[in-house]
Structure 1
Amino acid sequence: MNGRLSNATIAKLPAEVLVPRYARNSVTPGIVHLGVGAFHRAHQAAYVDACLADGESGWGIVGVSLRSPDTRDALEPQDGLYTLAIRDSAGEQLQVIGSIQSLLVAPEDPGAVLAALTDPRIRIVTLTITEKAYLRAADGSLDGAHPDIVHDLANPGSPKTAHGFLAEALARRSIAGTPPFTVLCCDNLPANGATLHRLLVEFAKLRDAGLGRHVADEVAFPSSMVDRIVPATTDADRARIGQQLGVEDAWPVMTEPFRQWVIEDRFPAGRPAWERFGVTMVEDVGPFEDMKLRLLNGAHSGIAYLGLLSGHATVDRAFADPSIRQFVDRLWAEAIPT
């Protein structure tokens, strides 16, 4: 292999590898993403990459890791570039994604993260921080006694949590007369936008009643539903993709061809034209969540449980079993009317 994937080496990649079809140096930031894990890079960042290629140059992504520097350490030497390997039974298509412009690590420099969030060009903040990071108590309310919440309330200028960063950034934008960004939760939580809205209002009220009202009344929190299988990247994946590229990629992402993103269309500050690339923009994401939970997740769980009991090693083999397929067909027939 000859060097590392980067802006300098991308032109040397094999012709069959898809690369960004836009001038990356003309892209300006419009989105800050909290939680730059593999799922974000296989899902939201790929959709944004398509929008950039379609000429929407104002939607580059500033990626923020709230905990670990690993993603930044892997991608910063690559100018934010990474390979998305889309795999199915027919083979593997490699696509280099260029939508992530820069990467920050919150514990190293919370001020830099707040500076990104208060940049007037930022109109959307997306999140994939996992359910645990929402810091909910047993009754679903904000866990106000959590040490990180206590820290952020006492130290608003150097937050640790997503709540702290969002609240401080929204407060600073309000003082400066900058319109608030839209907060788009992309984690697998029911009614994720409404859930995050409620939690952030609770947090903001603990800081200041006026800030609580601002978050409650002036900030949009559309809900969304996401779906794409993203297995963990192995050393064998890295080696195989490096051989195909002819350069090293420290952290490629594996995924399947199928993807889905359903979003409530409430973006007062504007948004990319995601619908041009398969995103479903709706008034209410609830019915789509019900469909996924009952038809997709319910069927997948049933296939796994029955397949294991029947001695099948993989889901595809279990689904090929006529008796299990019959079970799924009947499950769907019962669930579809609901």
Structure 2
Amino acid sequence: MSGRERLSSLDGIRAPVRLPAYRPSDHGVGIVHIGCGAFHRAHQAVYTDDALAQHGGDWRIRGISLRGLDVADALNPQHGLYTLLERDGEGTKARIIGSIAGVIAAARGREAALAALAAPAIRIVSLTVTEKAYGIDRSSGAVMPSHPAIAHDLANPRSPEGALGYIVEALRLRREAGLPAFTVLCCDNLPENGKLIRSGTLDYARRIDPDLARWIEANASFPSTMVDRITPAASERTLVDAEALTGFSDHAAIETEPFSQWVIEDDFVAGRPTWEIGGALLVKDVAPYENMKLRMLNGTHSLIAYAGFLSGYRYVRDAMASPGLTRLVRRHFDAAAATLQPLEGINLRSYAEDLGRRFENPAIAHETYQIAMDGTEKLPQRLLVPAVSALLDGQNIASFAFAAASWMRYCLGRDDQGESYALRDPREEDIRTALSAASDDATAISRALHGLDNLFPDELMASTDWRRAVEMRLERMLRFGMLKTIEDEAASLN
């Protein structure tokens, strides 16, 4: 870092940097957030900053870092202040966020973390810790006793290490002290995340104290959320640009895109900030909005990933510079949107336009190869389930068939120049075994991959129209290469 003065107050920050429209020290802490990484600071903390500016209240955030010291050491000397950079093709805008009051590093002592969670003023405990950190089996909703944190915490419930262990122990302390329960708000990118965390929390609690589990079930709430904002890891350029814009050295600066979305099930047992001020949607059921994101954003991302990677495009933004591929992306937006029901507060055409701009954003370096990984886990919800909807409703299945064929071509593990690559898929060995006798015959490849257990829905397996649509495109990819196939597919839309 440079020798410039460290960011620690709002004094002296030069225009046009946007400052909090409130004095942070005037507001108490009402939220504890576990996992205070870049995404939280670019997303929930920003919505909370907007809510404090408009409606005030004691809703500042106390962060807890369960692993590592870096976030605490970056934010605490700055009194929780940090620079948020929003980047797009028109440049970079800077904003100082004041909603975080500080971060507790649990590695320096779990007592402080538990005390923060059990404090009477805390009404919401939110989390962004990634799916693996919970130790919950997604299919059953039960905890996995073999998970390291779960195993430790079941054996030592008063001295937790994992997220569920901290939450349950904090709720036990609150019950013992005669305090009300709080809302547990999962902000990780998981389908029906509230239901999953509720199920895992209650299962964990039952294993150590059934009475406590019943109290949690009756008194706490676990709303589901849908979150969306691309937030790359901070780089040296992030810190340099933050310093140039603010005039201060900022060890906690982060960068992100202008777009942000948050859909929240409105089920809070002890109140909440007015997050809708910042654009959050408070709804009764998050699931339809998750379907929108999975089918329109994630499904199209997968199409770009496979077709773009095989065309030699390293980043999504590069792939979106291809006129032919861009036309296929727009077609997929329309095809995916046609499988959805109308959503309150959402215009699907405007959402598609936003997605197109995000994919084209030259400031975001999102690798196609990264998005392409774990295809067998991603394809069902992103592409295959909506393909079934389109098929059963008599809609055009061409875009879904093109995306599926692109994935099958990718599964061969070599590009059009013969260069090999790892699939990076949990079923990579199954895929290679299935393809071992398929050679380069489109029908044989399609038959082999359709035959993978628990991947393609029965409706697609039984549809000759679907199989023909996939195999026709896969045959072209094998014969003419991905670039030519994209051009021909796009030309057919005229």
CA distance in 2, matches of 1:290, 1:2: 47
Match of 2:180 in 1: 179
Give the TM-score, by structure 1 length.
Answer: 0.95
Q: Secondary structure at the match of 2:77?
A: helix
Answer yes or no: is 1:261 the counterpart of 2:258: no
Paired residues of 1:167 and 1:204 also in contact (CA < 8 A): yes
CA distance in 2, matches of 1:22, 1:228: 25
Answer yes or no: is 1:23 the counterpart of 2:23: yes
Single out whichever of 129-138 and 224-233 deviates more from structure 2. Answer: 129-138
Number of aligned pairs?
336
CA distance in 2, matches of 1:241, 1:102: 20
Match of 1:5 in 2: 7
Q: Which runs of at least 4 in structure 1 moved beyond 3 Å after TM superposition?
A: 137-140
CA distance in 2, matches of 1:231, 1:294: 22
CA distance in 1, matches of 2:90, 2:28: 37
Query: Structure 2 matches for 1:145-294, cutoff 5 A?
Result: 145-294=146-295
Match of 2:134 in 1: 134
Paired residues of 2:234 and 2:253 also in contact (CA < 8 A): yes
CA distance in 2, matches of 1:13, 1:92: 16
Per-residue deviation, 1:138: 7.7
Match of 2:312 in 1: 311
Match of 1:62 in 2: 62
Query: Structure 2 matches for 1:77-92, cutoff 5 A?
Result: 77-92=77-92
- Structure 1 residues 137, 194: closer, same or farther in 2, change over 3 A? closer
Answer yes or no: is 1:121 the counterpart of 2:121: yes
Paired residues of 1:83 and 1:94 also in contact (CA < 8 A): yes
Single out whichever of 247-256 and 323-332 deviates more from structure 2. Answer: 323-332
CA distance in 2, matches of 1:158, 1:67: 15
Q: Secondary structure at the match of 1:84?
A: strand
Match of 1:321 in 2: 322
CA distance in 1, matches of 2:38, 2:133: 17
Letter in 1 for 2:46: A
Single out whichever of 67-76 and 51-60 deviates more from structure 2. Answer: 51-60
Q: Secondary structure at the match of 2:30?
A: strand
Match of 2:104 in 1: 104
CA distance in 2, matches of 1:217, 1:265: 17
Letter in 1 for 2:290: E
Q: Secondary structure at the match of 1:54?
A: helix
Match of 1:33 in 2: 33
Deviation string, structure 1 residues 239-259 (Cα, Å, up to 9, x no partner): 222122221001200000000
Q: Secondary structure at the match of 1:248?
A: coil
Paired residues of 2:135 and 2:144 also in contact (CA < 8 A): yes
- Could you say which structure has the larger radius of gyration? 2
Cα RMSD (Å): 1.5
CA distance in 2, matches of 1:236, 1:87: 12
Long gaps (5+) in structure 1: none
Deviation string, structure 1 residues 108-152 (Cα, Å, up to 9, x no partner): 211111111111111001000011101134854311233322322
Per-residue deviation, 1:311: 2.9
Single out whichever of 57-66 and 240-249 deviates more from structure 2. Answer: 240-249
Match of 1:49 in 2: 49
Per-residue deviation, 1:192: 0.2
Deviation string, structure 1 residues 40-88 (Cα, Å, up to 9, x no partner): 0000001101111113231010000011110001111111111000111
Q: Secondary structure at the match of 2:55?
A: coil
- Structure 1 residues 232, 147: closer, same or farther in 2, change over 3 A? closer
Paired residues of 2:124 and 2:272 also in contact (CA < 8 A): yes
Give the TM-score, by structure 2 length.
Answer: 0.66
Larger strand proportion of the pair: 1
Percent identity of equivalent pairs: 48
Per-residue deviation, 1:186: 0.2
Single out whichever of 20-29 and 201-210 deviates more from structure 2. Answer: 20-29
CA distance in 1, matches of 2:236, 2:15: 24
Paired residues of 2:186 and 2:193 also in contact (CA < 8 A): yes
Deviation string, structure 1 residues 272-325 (Cα, Å, up to 9, x no partner): 111122001100000000110110011112122222222334322322323212
Letter in 1 for 2:299: G
Long gaps (5+) in structure 2: 340-494
Larger helix proportion of the pair: 2
CA distance in 2, matches of 1:296, 1:335: 9
Paired residues of 2:55 and 2:274 also in contact (CA < 8 A): no
Letter in 2 for 1:285: V
CA distance in 2, matches of 1:277, 1:159: 34
CA distance in 1, matches of 2:138, 2:15: 53
Letter in 2 for 1:108: R
Larger relative CO (CA 8 A, sep 6+): 1 or 2? Answer: 1
Q: Secondary structure at the match of 2:6?
A: coil
Q: Secondary structure at the match of 1:11?
A: coil
CA distance in 1, matches of 2:290, 2:143: 23
